């Protein structure tokens, strides 16, 4: 067990192997955070759409969730990166293939974002549906439009209720960012693999990678608990429902 490997000169690019690890961490964080921005916004919209009484809004939202949840993330990555530039109109396809900056990164971000959005949509939907119907009806009886009911009554409570599962989804997106290595994003797992191939120190390198992921998880969990404490509504204990949702 020789951890000094990280301070040895790297094979290429000058600098030491630790720089590769830091670069990997940077790309993991970037992919995950950008992906989460998409996931949270799109997921909230789709989740709200699934709870409306209008079938014309509900049906596409349900279709979206079913499609993006039932296709593996790896397959979706490949479709975004390899298939999409082929089936869009010629001009856009050429731009995507030749002139797009950092195509691997943006494809990974979009893919992760839309995949996670479907899971966020489910959480938001379950959060809204767990609020008693009386709240909605009272809001409508007071003359609020349906949109105002969502904005002032349902969503504030709904988001507070689902902070624990949303935390879990946020952590999942960090872990799923590793799938981006299949289309060439040099995030942490990819860099770990590369270093281990150059130095043959697989044990030390993968240990560091695992430690970093565990630290990310711990940090996010602690931060989310603090957030939950801060936004908790006194007297209303939003507990995580009985069994944990499946998945990772």
Partner 1 sequence: MFTGFDLDVIQRSLPYLGQGMLFTLGLTLLSMLGGIILGTLLALMRLANFKVLNVPAAGYVNLLRSTPLILVIFWFYFLVPIAIKKLSGDAYAEGLGPFHSALIAFTLFEAAYYCEIIRAGIQSVPRGQVHAAYALGLTYAQAMMKVVLPQAFRNMVPILLTQGIILFQDTSLVYVVGLTDFMGAASKVAQRDGRLVEMYLFAALVYFVLCFSASHCVKRLQLHYNVGR
C-alpha span between 76 and 92 (Å, rounded): 20
Smallest gap from residue 102 Cβ to partner 1 (A) = 21
Does 192 engage in binding with partner 1 (CB under 8 A)? yes
Q: Which stretch binds partner 1 (CB under 8 A): 2-10, 69-77, 141-149, 159-167?
A: 69-77
The distance of Cα 12 from the centroid of its chain, to the nearest Å, equals 32
- Which of residues 74, 102, 222, 233 is near partner 1 by CB under 8 A? 74
Does 182 engage in binding with partner 1 (CB under 8 A)? yes
Smallest gap from residue 4 Cβ to partner 1 (A) = 20
Q: Which stretch binds partner 1 (CB under 8 A): 19-27, 102-110, 148-156, 192-200?
A: 192-200
Q: DSSP labels for 16-48?
A: BHHHHHHHHHHHHHHHHHHHHHHHHHHHHHHHH
C-alpha span between 39 and 73 (Å, rounded): 14
C-alpha span between 176 and 128 (Å, rounded): 26
| Residue 2 structure tokens | 């020789």
**What residues line the site for partner 1 (CB under 8 A)?**
66-67, 69-76, 78-79, 82-83, 86-87, 93, 171, 174-179, 181-182, 189, 192-193, 196, 202-203, 206, 209-210, 213-214, 216-218, 242-248
């Amino acid at each position: 067990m020789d951890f000094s490997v990280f301070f040895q000169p790297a094979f290429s690019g000058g600098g030491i192997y630790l720089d590769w690890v830091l670069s990997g961490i940077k790309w993991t964080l970037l992919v995950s955070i950008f992906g989460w921005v998409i996931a949270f916004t799109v997921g909230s919209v789709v989740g709200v759409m699934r709870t409306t009484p209008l079938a014309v809004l509900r049906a596409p939202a349900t279709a979206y969730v079913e499609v993006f949840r039932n296709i593996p993330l790896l397959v979706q990555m490949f479709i975004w990166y390899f298939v999409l530039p082929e089936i869009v109109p010629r001009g856009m396809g050429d731009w995507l293939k030749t002139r797009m900056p950092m195509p691997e990164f943006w494809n990974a971000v979009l893919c992760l974002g839309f995949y996670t959005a479907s899971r966020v949509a489910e959480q938001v939907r379950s959060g809204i549906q767990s609020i008693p119907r009386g709240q909605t009806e009272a809001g409508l009886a007071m003359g609020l439009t349906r949109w105002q009911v969502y904005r002032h009554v349902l969503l504030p409570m709904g988001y507070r209720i689902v902070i624990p599962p949303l935390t879990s989804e946020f952590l999942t997106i960090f872990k799923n960012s590793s799938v981006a290595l299949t289309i060439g994003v040099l995030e942490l797992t990819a860099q770990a693999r590369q270093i281990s191939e150059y130095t043959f120190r697989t044990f030390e390198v993968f240990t560091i990678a695992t430690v970093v992921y565990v630290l990310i998880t711990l940090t996010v969990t602690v931060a989310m608990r603090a957030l939950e404490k801060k936004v908790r509504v006194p007297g209303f204990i939003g507990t995580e429902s009985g069994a944990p949702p499946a998945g990772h």
